[in-house]
Amino acid sequence: MKILFVCTANICRSVMAEGIFKKLLSTHLGTHAIHVSSAGVDALEGSTPDRNTNETCNRQGIHIVPHKARQLTKTMLKETDLILCMAKIHKQSILNAFPKFNKNTFVLKEYLREHPVDDISIKDPTGKSIKHYEICFKEIEKELKRIFPLIITDRIKK
């Protein structure tokens, strides 16, 4: 199974999500068949995560320094089983350009949820204080911890 996290520039939210999910995977045996990556709908190829993203992830034991931003491509979408966007605008951007990916493209906060939430988008902390990055990290982590057992259970069934 391949999971792709998507945000705008692939230097903050999607990088955090990728790191958090990989950390969750590392604590569960038998999940090596899940490949996790990230990309941005408007990324500058090769950019590194910003300082506050690095600091926030490091504080949580997640090492993202080697990460380089990737521009989302149709090929990436074709090769991915599950596309999880950080905000509604990212999902809309993907589906406007590639409508056939509507069955596997979701906003993270709407995925596998029984009841809708008021605001499904995770706010971009870029350019704000470290506190905003920490809030963003915790919000992403909460959502990933919510869906992780469901993804693992589904993966084991297959």
Decide if 158 is inside a domain: no
Decide if 14 is inside a domain: yes
pLDDT number for residue 32 = 67
pLDDT number for residue 18 = 98
pLDDT number for residue 114 = 82
Mean pLDDT, consecutive 10-residue segments, the chain of 158 residues?
97 98 84 88 96 97 95 97 98 97 96 87 96 98 95 65
Residue 47: give the domain boundaries. 2-153
pLDDT number for residue 116 = 80
Decide if 23 is inside a domain: yes
For the domain that residue 15 is a member of, what is the CATH number? 3.40.50.2300
Decide if 99 is inside a domain: yes
Q: Count CB neighbours of 8 within 10 A.
A: 19
Angle at 143 between CA 139 and CA 149, to 5 degrees: 150
User: Considering its fold, how many domains does the chain have in total?
Assistant: 1
Decide if 57 is inside a domain: yes
pLDDT number for residue 118 = 85
pLDDT digits (tens, 9 = 90+) for 1-25: 999 999 999 999 999 999 999 999 9
pLDDT number for residue 157 = 52
pLDDT number for residue 144 = 97
Decide if 108 is inside a domain: yes
Angle at 125 between CA 139 and CA 119, to 5 degrees: 50
Radius of gyration of the chain (CA): 15
pLDDT number for residue 33 = 83
Its pTM stands at 0.94
